[in-house]
Amino acid sequence: MSNNKVAGKLELFADPISINCRKVIAGLALMDIDYELTKIGYFAGEQKSAAYLKINPNAKLPALRDGDLVIWESNAILQYVANKYGKTDAYPAELGTRADVDRWLFWECGSWFASCYTYTVENCVKPILGAEPDPAILAIEDETFHKLASILDARLGQMRYVCGHTPTIADIAVAAPMHLHKWQQLPLENHSNINRWMSELIEPAAWWRASHVGEGFTLPGNA
Backbone phi, then psi, for 106, in 5-degree steps? -70, -40
- What angle (nearest 5°) sits at the alpha carbon of residue 168, between those of residues 204 and 194? 55
28 shares a domain with 103: no
Instruction: Say yes or no: 77 and 116 in one domain.
Output: no
In a domain, 2, yes or no: no
Tell me which of 62, 84, 106 is where a domain ends: 84
Assess contact for 184 and 176: CB atoms under 8 A: no
Are 128 and 205 in the same domain?
yes
Pairing of strands 69-72, 35-39: unpaired
142 with 76, same domain? no
Q: End of a domain among 33, 53, 84?
A: 84
pLDDT of residue 41 exceeding 50: yes
Q: What span, in angstroms and rounded, lies between the C-alpha atoms of 180 and 7?
A: 35
Q: How far apart are CA 173 and CA 9, in angstroms?
A: 23
C-alpha to C-alpha distance for 126 and 162, rounded to whole angstroms: 31
100 and 202 both lie in a single domain: yes
Range of the domain at 153: 95-209
For the stretch 101-114, pLDDT in tens is 999 999 999 999 99
Nearest to 149 by CA among 111, 118, 176, 183: 111
Considering the domain boundaries, does residue 125 fall inside one? yes
Mean pLDDT, residues 27-39 taken together: 97
Is 1 among the domain residues?
A: no
Give the angle subtended at the CA of 84 by the CAs of 113 and 51, to the nearest 5°: 65
Whether 34 and 59 map to the same domain: the answer is yes
Q: Is the per-residue pLDDT at 1 higher than 80?
A: no
For residue 166, the tally of other CB atoms under 10 A from its CB is: 11
Does residue 186 belong to any structural domain of this protein?
Answer: yes
Q: What is the mean pLDDT of residues 143-157?
A: 98
Among 57, 84, 111, identify where a domain stops: 84
Q: Is residue 216 part of a domain?
A: no
- Roughly what angle, to the nearest 10 degrees, separates helices 74-84 and 95-107? 160
- 176 and 203 assigned to the same domain: yes
Q: Structural domain tally of the chain?
A: 2
**Domain holding 44: CATH number?**
3.40.30.10
**Do residues 36 and 121 both lie within one domain?**
no
Mean pLDDT confidence for 7-18: 90
Instruction: Identify whether residues 17 and 108 lie together within a single domain.
Output: no
Inside any domain, residue 135: yes
Same-domain pairing of 160 and 135? yes
Over the stretch 158-210, which tens digit does the pLDDT of each residue have? 999 999 999 999 999 999 999 999 999 999 999 999 999 999 999 999 999 98
